[in-house]
Structure 1
Amino acid sequence: MTHIAVIGAGFAGLTAIRTLRKLDKAIDITLISPKAELHYLPSTIWIPSGLRTREDVIIPLANFLTRMNVNFKAAKVTGLKDNGRTIETDQGTVTSDGVIIASGGQFIKKLPGIEHALTPCEGVEVAEQIRDRLKALQGGTIAIGFAGNPNEPTAMRGGPMFEFLFGIDTLLRQQGRRDAFKLVFFSPAEKPGNRLGEKAVESLLAEMDKRGIERHLGHKMQGFEANKVKTEGGEFAADLILFMPGITGNSWFNNSELPRSAGGLIQADKHCKVAGFDKVYVAGDSGSFPGPDWMPKQAHMADLQAEAAAKNLLAEFKGTPANHTFKVELMCIVDSNEKGMLVRRTESGSTVLPYCRALHWAKRGFEKIYLQKYR
């Protein structure tokens, strides 16, 4: 029986499994991940305010894997060899006839003193630390910012930082404490969020002005100290620092012959196939794909890439053309804990719907519908 291994239990990995099983009821599938859990990171923005807890955003996958008839290997991948046929893990090797790599990326933590900053998208535990630090603070400066991978324009996480920024502002206002704090948004980009489109940037900056949030933009990062953000354009004090660095490839990629982009990600074509490898595909943050420099890879985009990867891998086994591609689409709701702004961008244009309460509830509704697939 043909055996496919899927590496990673995030958006791309689980969408790949659903697509594979929908198209082939008999194929043997193994999921390799440290835990049989989906960590729904888009909702961690609501943990500091108490709208969500870890139990709300960590979804056990036992029921899903049983329904999908998927084997589970609890392990961390450490390498790939034999042209992709052998996956090395800290719990032994896994052999397969085809592989879909969806193990995400890792944050570039090279700035001096970066240990003094919290990186929100690292997961639930960090979101809980932000919640607890906010509770303990009586006042002061909160600095929130992000940077990218200079060699991989698409490898960044800007959207969530706007959500933490506006969400914290909303929370402090609801608590009657906003006057005791200064919020500063910082980024080496002069127009942060430019990947969302010009209209979106204008709306985000206008929202900062409306909320009295200061900005420190257009200056290359130099590093951090325990209570300080340092840039080439000056430094400023901060009692709490949230910073999202750029993303590069997982360390286990180094223990493989996988082709890498300049930014350290796995080089793939428009069909999500890894260049030079037989029946090895990649989706989401792990890969570097052809497309516009604003193209995202996480969440919705990872789902679209995973569908294409799964369809093409099965096509190869069946001897049919593996020519499925993915639509390039940026779709997100930038939330503020009580309102949301919708941003949709495609190669034909962009749409921005201004902040309103209905979009906040739409984001919560999407969460419920999406997670129902895995409960």
Structure 2
Amino acid sequence: MTNITVLGSGFAALTAARELRRHRVDAEITMISPRDELHYLPSVIWLPANLRKGEELKVPLRHFFAQHRVNFVRAAVTGLEDGGRTVLTDQGAYRNDHLVIATGGRLIRKLPGIEHALIPCEGIAVGEEIGRRLEALPSGRIAIGFSANPNEQGAVRGGPMFEFLFIIDTLLRRQGRRHRFDITFFNPSPRPGARLGPKAVDGLIAEMKRREIATHLGHKMVCMEEKKVVTDGGEIDADLILFMPGITGPAWLASTDLPLSPGGMVMADAMCRVEGRPNVWVVGDAGSFPGPDWMPKQAHQADLQAKAAAANIAAALAGREPKTRFKPELICIVDTLDDGMLVFRNERFNIVGPRMKLFHWLKRFFEGYYLRTFR
């Protein structure tokens, strides 16, 4: 029987498996990942405010695997052979007829002293630690920022950092102790969040000003110290540092002959095919794709790429030419705990909604709707 191997168990990987079955692909699907549960990282922003508990964001995938006839292999990928037809792991080698790389990206940890910062997108445990650190601080200085992959500016995830910034401000105000804290937002760009669109950037910076959050923008990162962020434009004293570095591809890509972008991700076309590698596909943060310069690294875009890849694999298995292109699209609700700002962008429109409580509740509703798919 034809085997389709999917690497990863996050948003893109699960969507690829589900969409393959939706297209009535009757092949063997093997999913290889170190983890057999979905960690819903978009809701990590709410952990410091105790709006969510860490265990609530971990969804076992046993039901999903049974429903979609997925053979799960708990293993870590170490490389590829035979043009992608063999996946090497720490638990042995696995053959395939089609390979979908959906492992997600890897955080760039080259900044000296980065160990002094908490990196929220690392996972649930970090979100919980942020809550503990905040609770233990009677007063102090908080610095929050992000940067991009210097070799591929689109490989960045800044949205959650804006959310942590505003949520921490809101939380401290609710607790009646915001006046004891200085909060600074830092970013190497003078216009952070540019991929959201000019109007969104204006709104974010205005919101910082309204909340009396200081900004340190347009200065290259130099290093971090135990209680300090150092840039070429000055230093930011901080008792708590939250920082999201840029994204690159998985480390094991270096041992393969796959075509890589300057930023270290797998090169693909608009149909998610890896260049020069028949029946090898990439979706989500592990890939570098053609498209507008604002195209995001986010779960929604990964889902859209996974849907396109699944449709194209189904076409190839049926003897048809793959023709489905993924849709570049950005949907983001920047949550503040009290309300939220909706940003939508595609190749025709860039819409920025006003701050509304409705958007906060929509984000919570979507969380429940999305996770019901896997429970």
TM-score tier by shorter-chain length is over 0.9
Cα-to-partner distance string for 1:227-286 (whole Å, 9 max, x where unaligned) = 000000011210000000100111011121111001000000011000010100000000
- Residue in structure 2 matched with residue 113 of structure 1 by the alignment: 113
> Does residue 221 in structure 1 map to residue 221 in structure 2?
yes
- Residue in structure 1 matched with residue 232 of structure 2 by the alignment: 232
Cα-to-partner distance string for 1:7-54 (whole Å, 9 max, x where unaligned) = 011110000011001112521101111111111110000011100111
CA RMSD of aligned residues (A): 0.8
- Residue in structure 1 matched with residue 143 of structure 2 by the alignment: 143
What SS class does the counterpart of residue 186 from structure 1 fall into? strand
1: CA distance, partners of 2:102 / 2:243: 24
CA contact (8 A) 2:100 2:282 kept: yes
CA contact (8 A) 2:268 2:288 kept: yes
CA contact (8 A) 2:156 2:297 kept: no
Q: Which amino acid in structure 1 is aligned with residue 74 of structure 2?
A: A
- Residue in structure 1 matched with residue 250 of structure 2 by the alignment: 250
CA contact (8 A) 1:5 1:99 kept: yes
CA contact (8 A) 1:153 1:294 kept: no
- Residue in structure 1 matched with residue 9 of structure 2 by the alignment: 9
Shift of 1:125: 0.8
Q: Which amino acid in structure 1 is aligned with residue 87 of structure 2?
A: I
Stretch moving more, 294-303 or 22-31: 22-31
Shift of 1:307: 0.5
- Residue in structure 1 matched with residue 44 of structure 2 by the alignment: 44
What SS class does the counterpart of residue 355 from structure 2 fall into? strand
Structure 1 unmatched ranges of 5 or more: none
Q: Which amino acid in structure 2 is aligned with residue 276 of structure 1?
A: G
- Identity value in percent: 58
- Residue in structure 2 matched with residue 298 of structure 1 by the alignment: 298
Cα-to-partner distance string for 1:154-201 (whole Å, 9 max, x where unaligned) = 110110000000010011111111011010000000000111000100
Q: Which amino acid in structure 1 is aligned with residue 224 of structure 2?
A: F
1: CA distance, partners of 2:334 / 2:147: 18
- Residue in structure 2 matched with residue 58 of structure 1 by the alignment: 58
2: CA distance, partners of 1:285 / 1:83: 21
1: CA distance, partners of 2:217 / 2:293: 20
Q: Which amino acid in structure 2 is aligned with residue 247 of structure 1?
A: I
- Residue in structure 2 matched with residue 312 of structure 1 by the alignment: 312
1: CA distance, partners of 2:151 / 2:44: 28
> Does residue 267 in structure 1 map to residue 267 in structure 2?
yes
What SS class does the counterpart of residue 326 from structure 1 fall into? coil
- Residue in structure 2 matched with residue 186 of structure 1 by the alignment: 186
- Residue in structure 2 matched with residue 93 of structure 1 by the alignment: 93
Q: Which amino acid in structure 2 is aligned with residue 43 of structure 1?
A: S
2: CA distance, partners of 1:300 / 1:94: 29
What SS class does the counterpart of residue 326 from structure 2 fall into? coil
1: CA distance, partners of 2:360 / 2:316: 42
Shift of 1:122: 0.5
CA contact (8 A) 1:107 1:245 kept: yes
What SS class does the counterpart of residue 189 from structure 1 fall into? coil
Shift of 1:64: 0.8
CA contact (8 A) 2:140 2:239 kept: yes
Shift of 1:93: 1.1
2: CA distance, partners of 1:131 / 1:90: 35
- Residue in structure 1 matched with residue 371 of structure 2 by the alignment: 371
Shift of 1:60: 0.6
Shift of 1:55: 1.6
2: CA distance, partners of 1:298 / 1:93: 30
- Residue in structure 2 matched with residue 24 of structure 1 by the alignment: 24
The 5-angstrom pairing of residues 348-359 of structure 1 reads 348-359=348-359
Shift of 1:349: 2.2
Structure 2 unmatched ranges of 5 or more: none
1: CA distance, partners of 2:316 / 2:25: 17
What SS class does the counterpart of residue 354 from structure 2 fall into? strand
Stretch moving more, 161-170 or 318-327: 318-327
TM-score by length of 2: 0.99
What SS class does the counterpart of residue 133 from structure 2 fall into? helix
2: CA distance, partners of 1:351 / 1:290: 22
1: CA distance, partners of 2:72 / 2:217: 45
Q: Which amino acid in structure 1 is aligned with residue 169 of structure 2?
A: D
Cα-to-partner distance string for 1:296-329 (whole Å, 9 max, x where unaligned) = 1321000000001111122122210101001111
After superposition, the Cα gap between the structure-2 partners of 1:277 and 1:25, relative to the gap in structure 1 and judged at 3 Å, is: closer
2: CA distance, partners of 1:293 / 1:173: 37
CA contact (8 A) 2:295 2:328 kept: yes
- Residue in structure 2 matched with residue 335 of structure 1 by the alignment: 335
2: CA distance, partners of 1:223 / 1:347: 37
- Residue in structure 1 matched with residue 288 of structure 2 by the alignment: 288
What SS class does the counterpart of residue 104 from structure 2 fall into? coil
How many residues end up aligned between the 2 structures?
A: 375
Q: Which amino acid in structure 2 is aligned with residue 248 of structure 1?
A: T
Shift of 1:86: 0.4
What SS class does the counterpart of residue 354 from structure 1 fall into? coil
What SS class does the counterpart of residue 80 from structure 1 fall into? strand
- Residue in structure 2 matched with residue 204 of structure 1 by the alignment: 204
